[in-house]
Structure 1
């Protein structure tokens, strides 16, 4: 009799499992069968981060997904908005432009099918000059100074010139790769380099070895002006970043956020957000910048609406999302 009861119990349990599995499968009926994450060029942080994140989500949720090489933040916004890709990575500056219909890829077209998912990491804006120039502050930069702003159309080249103009700096604009600009600074062909890049910046570290440099910080008043006029956040460059620094230097940074199509299923995005926010150890293993990919940093998005699925996860876990910022 006991043997028969065990069989009946086993059958009941098996049946329950089948019902649960069927229910789970039914819940996924409107999920996409695969997804793509728009990143940037190979070899950059976006490509490594985005591909790693795509693999994590694909493995945890059991669907096919991967990273795709793109033109970076601005193009990712456009590709997500049009539905060509499901997910992308972007910075708050291009996101702000896209929402207002000021994207250079689609002038006059507000991108309203782009929703925020989670915070990634910060891109600091920092300024470097040779000590021999005597430039120790932004106000010291002479009129007509030759300033290197990085690759053309990069985040640095898009926003740093406008930031310096707002602070009253008159300059001649120069573009190029960071290493090339570092060489020009050392040779006296540039007066200043305005970087928007992850720290430590290899070009600055190399300059420190070869010559004396000044890492120029924003004054508190300059920082407040920039915060008021641009989609950036307060940032401190740790003194340990460069041998030149004796104490932390005041700067600003632009946050990077992962984005998705707003029309993706809420349950799907809830699970994507859950996997990402509850596995920071795995995120850090794919790229060390993911140490700031934590829910506490969700407050740094004030530009894009959050996907309802992402917002639900944050709210369920005690993180406040303003209702006006939920799509």
Structure 2
């Protein structure tokens, strides 16, 4: 498993160097412009090949997508390609349009697609079907201490990192700041392009803050946070949390416990999302069923590849299904006693 994953990632990095273009808007073009890297395999004898959209290289999504692809291939014999893409929002459109077979996104991006809001205003993605949710991702409101902010409303004039247009970070920032009492007209949105570039710009003070929905102890957040002398994680007030949960039901209250990051002396009370994996409604029932089954039964191997898979459970789907369940996934959850 480890050798396969290492090989997959090596191929992905190689391919990414020759990729041209980075998606900046919801999908409406060819798959050739949709990815900046991929983890590939030889097709299985049936000729069935599936593409799994993740996010930019250097982030957790790509690593987790490559691990998931390996587990699916080992268990089902299907050929799977984990592709680095523009991220959560892009993947929703690409799967809906049939340019990707599978997508990985924060629940907020799926909600935007299903409801035809935000980046998908007026063009709802009606063909998205849920397969599984695999981990909770609390919003990390990471802010430079030098700003002296104790509340999001204190951040007027700040520069917020959004990674790339269409990324889940951009979506969360644009959706949450106004709900938390800070107008987008009062901040500057910065686009570094990837987490690697964003990390450098945050640490060198070129950007002031980021709202990132990611798992507890995320390595890239830990790297920026350091010993906590220059950065802090802001908490939300009860009123702010209630406003978000009422206005955007895909969010719920979550806690980043004290000492999750070095020097973090207090809990950070925030909101968060599930990370969800989905497919197009046209996927056949047997394929969807086998994908869900292989992932749920492959938890042990997945956790070895990335600790964020420790949350994986069939129960995660209960009351947290933004897009309709695919019939194949529904079959599995009924067998598992969840539905």
TM-score, with normalisation over the residues of structure 2?
A: 0.74
The residue that corresponds to 2:280 in the other structure is: 261
Question: Which stretch has the larger CA shift, 116-125 or 307-316?
Answer: 116-125
- Give how far 1:44 is off: 2.3
CA contact (8 A) 1:128 1:204 kept: no
Q: Deviations over 1:227-260 (max 9, x none)?
A: 1112222211021212333332211112211111
RMSD: 2.6
* 1:219 pairs with 2:206: no
Per-residue CA deviation, residues 7-40 of structure 1 (Å, 9 max, x unaligned), is xxxxxxxxxxxxxxxxxxxxxxxx8722221222
Q: Are the aligned partners of 1:39 and 1:67 in contact in 2 as well (CA < 8 Å)?
A: yes
How far does residue 314 in structure 1 lie from its aligned partner after superposition? 0.9
Moved more, 162-171 or 130-139: 130-139
| 1:1-327 alignment, distance < 5 Å | 33-102=48-117, 104=119, 107-139=121-153, 141=154, 144-153=156-165, 154-170=167-183, 171-175=186-190, 176=192, 177-184=198-205, 190=208, 192-198=209-215, 199-200=217-218, 202=220, 205-209=223-227, 211-230=229-248, 231-299=250-318, 301-320=320-339
Task: Please give the per-residue CA displacement for 1:241-288, whole angstroms capped at 9, x wherever unaligned.
Answer: 123333322111122111112122212211221111122101112222
Moved more, 251-260 or 174-183: 174-183
In structure 2, runs of 5+ residues without a counterpart are: 1-45, 193-197
Q: TM-score, normalised by structure 1?
A: 0.77
Distance 1:131 1:110, change over 3 A: closer
Q: Distance between the aligned counterparts of 2:58 and 2:142, measured in 1?
A: 25
Q: In 2 relative to 1, CA 58–223 (structure 1 residues): closer, same or farther, beyond 3 Å? A: same
Write the deviation string for residues 101-144 of structure 1: whole angstroms up to 9, x where unpaired: 3464x6533222210001122332222344454322335x16x3
Relative to structure 1, the CA distance from residue 224 to residue 262 in structure 2 (aligned partners, 3 Å threshold; closer, same or farther) is same
The structure carrying a bigger helix percent of its residues is 1
How many equivalent pairs are there? 283
Residue 156 of structure 1 deviates from its aligned partner by 2.1
Once the two structures are superposed, what CA deviation does each residue of 1:196-251 show, in whole Å capped at 9, x if it has no partner? Answer: 44444645654543834432111222111111112222211021212333332211
Shift in Å at residue 145 of structure 1?
2.9
Q: Identify unmatched segments of 5+ residues in structure 1.
A: 1-30, 321-327
